[in-house]
Each structure stands twice: as structure tokens, then as C-alpha cells.
Amino acid sequence: MDYLALPLVLREGYLSRTSLEESITFSIGLIFSTRMGMMPFAPEYGCALWEREYSDLLTANKADIRASLRNAIDLFEKRLYNVSVSFTSVANHASHPLGMMVRVRGNYREDGEEKRYESNFLVG
């Protein structure tokens, strides 16, 4: 089965397609980058990450933030299950001053087969 790729770009009369795994990655990226309340038709969509100041992310209880991100995935990305969320450090440089990355792991089913999912998302 094909899934729509993000961003939605119409090429030669067709929208770009992608795999299930990439579709899940696009979906999680959209969840993580959306402030709760920004979508009028679904005000609960998004994650609470953006309710915090960047400095809070460095000093806050990471377990609370991980739980919040995992709950957002559980609510809005039903194709992924057994989800775990962790933080890792990345090299601190000008284009990424916060130096944090969120690693998402879980499982999904495709064509009746269980598959492992893992992807990283930069925060900040």
C-alpha cells in the first residue's frame, strides 16, 4: 500500500507516495512540531513539548517530557505500538543550539508481518 508523502507536492497530476515506515516518520514529525490547539478542527492534536521554554527542556524532568511525547504518539499515530521515547545528545552547533534529539522506537505491522520502527527527531 502506498502512503502520501509530506510535504504534499502535486507532481504531474499526482501526489508523491511513500512507504508505511516513512509515513509513520512524517506523522510523528508532524505531531512533534505541532503546538496543541493549533489545529482548529482537532485542538487536542500535537504535543505539549511546545508549552515549555527551551531552557526548561534542559532542566525539566525528562521522564515527564518522554511520557508526554509517548502519549501524543499513542493518541495520534495508531499504526505504531509498544512505543518508547528517549533523549540523546547531539553535537551542539549553530543550526541546532539545544543539542537534543528524541529517539522513537516501536513496532508496526505491514502485510501481516511485525516490523521494528526506530527514528530520530531533532528538538529545537
Q: Which fold has domain 3-123?
A: Nuclear Transport Factor 2; Chain: A, (3.10.450)
Q: What is the pLDDT of residue 97?
A: 56
Q: What is the pLDDT of residue 60?
A: 64
Which DSSP string corresponds to 44-107? Answer: T-SBGGGGS-HHHHHHS-HHHHHHHHHHHHHHH-TT-EEEEEEEEE---BTTBTT-EEEEEEEE
Q: What is the pLDDT of residue 36?
A: 87
Q: What is the pLDDT of residue 2?
A: 74
pTM of the model as a whole? 0.81
- The segments of the chain whose pLDDT lies below 50 read none
Domain residue spans of the chain: 3-123
Q: What is the pLDDT of residue 95?
A: 57
Q: What is the pLDDT of residue 99?
A: 61
